[in-house]
């Protein structure tokens, strides 16, 4: 039992991790066919994982409703939404009509999910504005740089800023000097400074992903077994 619970999952993880890593460096038809087969199995396992996740959601919220815990009414709404969506999806078959019309499932998505998403993002706009106000207060040199950059970018993104700060050219003798406007400065900030910072963050995230993957393959990280590292 200990072997099945601990050593066998670690062995499978090690073998599959090494195989997936080596596959990128072996451009052979056998290797490509193997990765295709494994990808198909991953899709099948993902389907079972989706069913398991739905069952887990039903169980958690069913317990919440039965105990009438705080907010259990929202769990009831979630139950009704899931059941209704699944019933409509199975009934409509998930296919488009022959005449190009809208199915019942498409109508349910367009007139419930899309408005709810719009409402959620509208509410998030107020939280973003509040966070921006707190972040842009010039209490340090770094915050001052962030404030100036944010103001310049916002001025370059709206028509009013482009009207107030347009680009221009000045001729002095045989020399022509171009003074960048708000749009030009915004483009430079986004394409040069912002791109450099974004790439640095992506490099750091990639190195962290590689490190975590090596820990999982080598068996140093075992939290996915459900008992923590030492399990």
Say how many CA atoms lie within 13 Å of 214 toward its Cβ: 5
Coil/strand/helix, residue 25: coil
**Tens digit of pLDDT for each residue in 32-76?**
888 888 889 889 999 899 889 989 998 999 999 999 889 899 999
**Tens digit of pLDDT for each residue in 68-114?**
889 899 999 998 988 888 888 888 765 555 555 667 878 888 888 88
pTM above 0.75, yes or no: no
Residues 78 and 53 in one domain: yes
Please tell me what DSSP assigns to residue 1. -
Tracing tokens 């998030």 back to the chain, one arrives at 124
Coil/strand/helix, residue 230: coil
**Tens digit of pLDDT for each residue in 129-165?**
787 777 767 677 877 887 888 888 888 888 887 787 7
CB atoms within 10 A of CB 105: 19
pLDDT value of position 111: 87
For residue 190, give both structure tokens.
Answer: 């986004």
Q: Which domain holds residue 112?
A: 98-135
Residues 191 and 149 in one domain: yes
Residues 31 and 83 in one domain: yes
Residues 145 and 225 in one domain: yes
**Tens digit of pLDDT for each residue in 160-197?**
877 877 777 677 767 776 777 888 888 888 899 889 99
For the chain, the domain total comes to 3
Residues 88 and 114 in one domain: no
Please report, for residues 99, 100, 164, 185, the alpha-carbon distance to residue 88 in angstroms, rounded to integers and kept in the order given. 20, 18, 53, 51
Residues 76 and 110 in one domain: no
Residues 8 and 73 in one domain: yes
Tracing tokens 């009704």 back to the chain, one arrives at 80
Q: Are 169 and 177 spatial neighbours (Cβ–Cβ below 8 Å)?
A: yes
DSSP secondary structure letters along 90-144: HHHTT---TTS---HHHHHIIIIIHHHHHHHHHHHHHHHHHHHHHHTS-SSHHHH
pLDDT value of position 229: 47
């Amino acid at each position: 039992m200990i072997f099945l619970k601990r050593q066998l999952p670690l062995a499978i993880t090690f073998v599959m991790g090494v195989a997936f890593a080596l596959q990128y460096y072996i451009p052979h038809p056998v290797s490509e066919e193997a990765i295709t087969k494994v990808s198909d199995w991953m899709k099948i396992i993902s389907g079972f994982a989706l069913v398991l996740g739905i069952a887990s959601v039903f169980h958690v919220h069913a317990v919440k409703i039965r105990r009438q815990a705080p907010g259990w009414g929202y769990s009831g709404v979630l139950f009704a939404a899931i059941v209704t969506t699944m019933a409509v999806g199975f009934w409509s078959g998930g296919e488009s009509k022959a005449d190009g019309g809208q199915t019942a499932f498409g109508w349910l998505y367009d007139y419930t999910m899309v408005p709810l998403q719009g409402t959620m993002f509208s509410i998030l706009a107020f939280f973003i504005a509040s966070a921006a106000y707190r972040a842009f207060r010039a209490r340090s040199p770094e915050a001052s740089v962030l404030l100036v950059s944010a103001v310049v970018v916002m001025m370059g993104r709206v028509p009013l800023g482009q009207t107030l700060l347009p680009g221009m050219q000045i001729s002095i003798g045989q020399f022509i000097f171009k003074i960048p406007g708000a749009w030009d400065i915004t483009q430079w900030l986004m394409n040069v400074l912002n791109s450099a910072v974004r790439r640095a963050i992506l490099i750091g995230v990639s190195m962290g992903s590689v490190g975590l993957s090596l820990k999982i393959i080598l068996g140093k990280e075992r939290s996915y077994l459900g008992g923590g590292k030492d399990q």
